[in-house]
Amino acid sequence: MLVDTHTHLDFPEYEQDLREVIERAKAEGVEYILVVGTDLPSSKRSLALSQLYQGLFASLGIHPHEASRVSEGDWQELKGLAREPKVVAVGETGLDYHYNYSTKEDQKVLFRRHIELALESNLPLIIHNREATQDCISILREYATSPLKGVFHCFSGTTETVKAVVNLGFYISFAGPVTFPNAHRLRETVKSVPVERLLMETDSPFLAPQPKRGKRNEPSYIKYLVPVLAQLYGLSEEDISRITSLNAFRLLGLGTNHRKGKVAYAIRNSLYLNITNRCSNSCTFCPRESLPYVKGHYLGLEEEPTPQEIMEGLGDVTRYDEVVFCGYGEPTERLEVVKTVARYLRNKGVRRIRLNTNGQGDLINRRSVSEELRGLIDSVCISLNSQNNEGYKVLCSPSHGDRAYQALLSFTQRAREVFPEVTMTVVDIPGVDIEACRQIASNLGVGFRVRRYNDLG
């Protein structure tokens, strides 16, 4: 499934063949399309289209170009429409200092009115920003303590702006230009956007992607963005489609919120097994309780699966590069399940089986567990998380208290003797002394890897 989060299908370019345009989008898997208004008549047309076609939704707004001309009557009428059920956003709004068709002051006033409307209606903002980043960000910062949310559409800013936008809690949407051969700088910027904040759009009828560049754009062309983004993030095309659809759902309510916890979930060419949500830690950076998603997969389990249920749901496991015991929970909380399923995977000829663990398996099971996993697990990834016990307790709140940190070090020592590959990991968050952690891993004779904060999977 794909979601086109910004189009102008109400424009005259589609007068002759809108139905065909929508059918072509559907045929390419674009199930949801946001039609974005740019003034009162355009917002009304967008709303009418959303009411006429399934899968279309509307955003109401008055473009900053119109800021000096908009009448109070138009604004009040637009506000009145925001209650319609198919309206899912406010905009396009923002600031445009490139053309300055309206004065900066008028643009700022209108932008603030849109923000207030978004807050009153509990809807996200669709933001247009051209050569006005500083003012745009500082106005949004005035609302930093409010529940305001939104997206910077057709983003073309710098990595510095990405940081500011992400810190505000906003999403960032890319359109056709990321596919242009000479858009090297823009593609570098894309990489700095956390994939959990990434959206895709066509901005139809403008900015058709390669290889349709120069032609009228349409939502079905969003497919040309997917391989480019997949390559930039080192993910599969399926990953990008799933993640951006979930992001669209979380911001706009478009798409599907897959709230059934997955036991087996694929990212790139690895299959991950989420066998429990129980964990002997409660790490500050873990979204297990609050938002248990990883790369667009929902991992909140209502019930723990039996080994039979896990094995039956796996399909052809040999097509993956590796199978990893890793979910929102500590796999060794269910050691017997790990053993049974790993044995099954081994018999099926899986190339590589990995265990991601907090290293407290011995404490949890009250015995040394490494030997029991010999021959079943090829690679073990242990979350070291801190350079010492005190730091570990602050970051991970282990239920085993002071014993946890020492237990993970001892587990690592034994694991090195048993498994072909052992790696310790840390997350790059303040307070973690990466070099001291690297030294601990080196002293223990195991590999070491730094994980980016908030980059799971």
The residues binding ligand SF4 (CB under 6 A) are: 279, 281-283, 286, 288, 328-330, 358, 383, 396
Q: Are strands 297-298 and 293-294 parallel, antiparallel or unpaired?
A: antiparallel
Q: Based on CB atoms, which residue is closest to ligand SF4, 112 or 288? A: 288
- Tell me how far, at minimum, the Cβ of 130 lies from ligand SF4, in Å: 40
Q: Where are the alpha helices (DSSP H) in 182-299?
A: 184-191, 225-233, 237-252
**Of the candidates 368, 370, 329, 321, the residue with the CA atom closest to the CA atom of residue 345:** 321
CA 198 to CA 145: how far, in whole Å?
Answer: 22
Q: Based on CB atoms, which residue is closest to ligand SF4, 244 or 385? A: 385
Q: Based on CB atoms, which residue is closest to ligand SF4, 119 or 429? A: 429
Q: Based on CB atoms, which residue is closest to ligand SF4, 340 or 425? A: 425
Q: Based on CB atoms, which residue is closest to ligand SF4, 25 or 337? A: 337
105 exposure class (CB count in 10 Å sphere: 0-12, 13-18, 19+): exposed
Are the C-beta atoms of 281 and 332 separated by less than 8 Å? no
Q: Hunting for tokens 């905009």 — which residue is that? A: 91
Cα 405 to Cα 38, 400, 427, distances in angstroms: 57, 9, 16
- Tell me how far, at minimum, the Cβ of 279 lies from ligand SF4, in Å: 3
- Tell me how far, at minimum, the Cβ of 356 lies from ligand SF4, in Å: 8
- Tell me how far, at minimum, the Cβ of 455 lies from ligand SF4, in Å: 13
Q: Based on CB atoms, which residue is closest to ligand SF4, 196 or 330? A: 330
- Tell me how far, at minimum, the Cβ of 329 lies from ligand SF4, in Å: 5
Cα 154 to Cα 127, 173, 189, 248, distances in angstroms: 9, 6, 13, 15
Q: Based on CB atoms, which residue is closest to ligand SF4, 29 or 287? A: 287
Those residues with Cβ within 8 angstroms of residue 254's Cβ, 6 or more apart along the chain or in another chain: 3, 5, 32, 34, 57, 88, 248
Q: Based on CB atoms, which residue is closest to ligand SF4, 192 or 399? A: 399
Please report, in angstroms and rounded to a whole number, the separation of the first and last CA atoms in the chain.
Answer: 21
Structure tokens of 24? 């072509």
- Tell me how far, at minimum, the Cβ of 255 lies from ligand SF4, in Å: 26
- Tell me how far, at minimum, the Cβ of 142 lies from ligand SF4, in Å: 35
Those residues with Cβ within 8 angstroms of residue 88's Cβ, 6 or more apart along the chain or in another chain: 34, 57, 58, 59, 123, 124, 252, 253, 254
Cα 275 to Cα 321, 351, 442, distances in angstroms: 20, 20, 31
- Tell me how far, at minimum, the Cβ of 358 lies from ligand SF4, in Å: 4
- Tell me how far, at minimum, the Cβ of 307 lies from ligand SF4, in Å: 20
Cα 260 to Cα 270, 333, 383, 439, 442, distances in angstroms: 20, 22, 27, 41, 41
The widest CA-to-CA distance across the chain, in whole angstroms, is 76
**Of the candidates 26, 86, 54, 49, the residue with the CA atom closest to the CA atom of residue 219:** 26
- Tell me how far, at minimum, the Cβ of 282 lies from ligand SF4, in Å: 5
Phi/psi at 141 (5° precision) = -65, -25
Q: Based on CB atoms, which residue is closest to ligand SF4, 144 or 291? A: 291
Are the C-beta atoms of 21 and 4 separated by less than 8 Å? no
Q: Based on CB atoms, which residue is closest to ligand SF4, 117 or 283? A: 283
